[in-house]
Structure 1
């Protein structure tokens, strides 16, 4: 399926009038929060001038996402994903700006080996193991079940070994990924459970005190973020 430029998600930092068509991402992330690596390198960062150059980097096995070689210029990246071009000594983490758009910040080689993932759901498997369903559409299977939805795990990439568990709760640092406070890092004060079908809200304190819906909050650290996000 082709994607018209005028219909690209608001999370893309690209001009909608320079071309008629845009690359459609192939991704496990929610479609509205994913952008194809081709568009990232060519249109957002300006590292290359054409899709042909992106394909050449891929053929030379010089492009990694979360530590894995990718083989498709349509590969979609989303929140917290790490893009690496080792030959250029370039490592980027995908985060979000104040306008709800995906942005890419430089990180060092050591930090490029880790990633934060929010636990969106859990499943008990037939062998009594637990499967953690993560915000990026991937899964991790574990034996000890000390994890809850809304918690965050810090994992190594590409091995996906859990390095740290950051429980959701009062006093934790959180990244806001939607609404008018998108891109801010704030401290969780209270978790407000709503009745019926209304979304739960969270009271946070950053430069000012504010509320946002639970869906827009990802815990990123105890006292400080575990990774560079701004």
Structure 2
């Protein structure tokens, strides 16, 4: 199987130039599905920390790079929305967050904020023992003994203990960010959830933080976030 991916066909969320070369790196199977960006692209093309796949593999062999608190040894590991990428030796920490247009970017955060990550609840089901399994946007699962969580809620998971440390319900008045579509990267208050009966998506209305714009998008494109996401760079704290 080829290790290359044509640039013109990569997801719009990938932070790559499409017309500079024909090919780029292909992501391995893993979290985030086809939207996940290979770690090598972030290390080489975004941060400029390595010049080649060989250099990336060496850095990873030294356990110098953590994703969501775990050392990574695969340069093709998919990285996606709300992942935490840490370089402890450099004392540098980043949260993957959509910028305007929905392209994934790296937002600097501090060490405390890097200890946990946000996850959108994409689904839930009952499992053996009467517990509830929450399926998050990146494909990971969290088992809880409470039924207080609903689809489209957001939770904050501690990277070390894997326990939920915060819960943000999906409801009107909450702070959200658009992660896809024409309004990707915009943050605002969820003003209205218009339920669409049948197979269509619910429509949400969001007012931007400055109050100068109100936009509509589909429910799947918004994620409830913590107000600290809009803090100063390097000072975010989930």
TM-score, normalised with respect to structure 2:
0.90
Per-residue Cα deviation, 1:128-162 (whole angstroms, up to 9, x for no partner): 11100001110001112211111111111132211
Matched, 1:211 2:216: yes
Structure 2: gaps of 5 or more residues? 234-238
Correspondent of 2:117 among 109, 112, 115: 115
CA distance 1:41–1:229, change in 2 (3 Å): farther
| Contact 1:92-1:112 within 8 A present in 2 as well | yes
Correspondent of 1:6 among 8, 12, 17: 8
| Contact 1:95-1:105 within 8 A present in 2 as well | yes
Q: Which residue of 2 aligns with 1:152?
A: 154
For 1:103 and 1:115, locate their aligned partners in 2 and report how far apart those are by CA, in whole Å: 15
Per-residue Cα deviation, 1:85-133 (whole angstroms, up to 9, x for no partner): 1111111110111122111111111110011111010010121111000
For 2:146 and 2:17, locate their aligned partners in 1 and report how far apart those are by CA, in whole Å: 47
| Residues matched between the structures, number | 227
Q: How does 1:170-185 map to 2 (within 5 A)?
A: 170-185=172-187
For 2:20 and 2:204, locate their aligned partners in 1 and report how far apart those are by CA, in whole Å: 40
For 1:10 and 1:170, locate their aligned partners in 2 and report how far apart those are by CA, in whole Å: 28
Q: Which residue of 1 aligns with 2:100?
A: 98
Q: Which residue of 1 aligns with 2:56?
A: 54
| Contact 1:84-1:90 within 8 A present in 2 as well | yes
Matched, 1:186 2:182: no
Q: Which residue of 1 aligns with 2:142?
A: 140
| Contact 1:24-1:74 within 8 A present in 2 as well | yes
Q: CA deviation at 1:16?
A: 2.8
Q: Aligned-pair RMSD on alpha carbons?
A: 1.7
Q: CA deviation at 1:17?
A: 3.8
Per-residue Cα deviation, 1:152-207 (whole angstroms, up to 9, x for no partner): 11111132211111111111000111122110111011110012222100111113
Per-residue Cα deviation, 1:57-93 (whole angstroms, up to 9, x for no partner): 1111111100001111100100000001111111111
Q: CA deviation at 1:228?
A: 5.5
For 2:31 and 2:232, locate their aligned partners in 1 and report how far apart those are by CA, in whole Å: 21
Q: CA deviation at 1:15?
A: 2.2
TM-score, normalised with respect to structure 1:
0.93
Q: CA deviation at 1:7?
A: 2.1
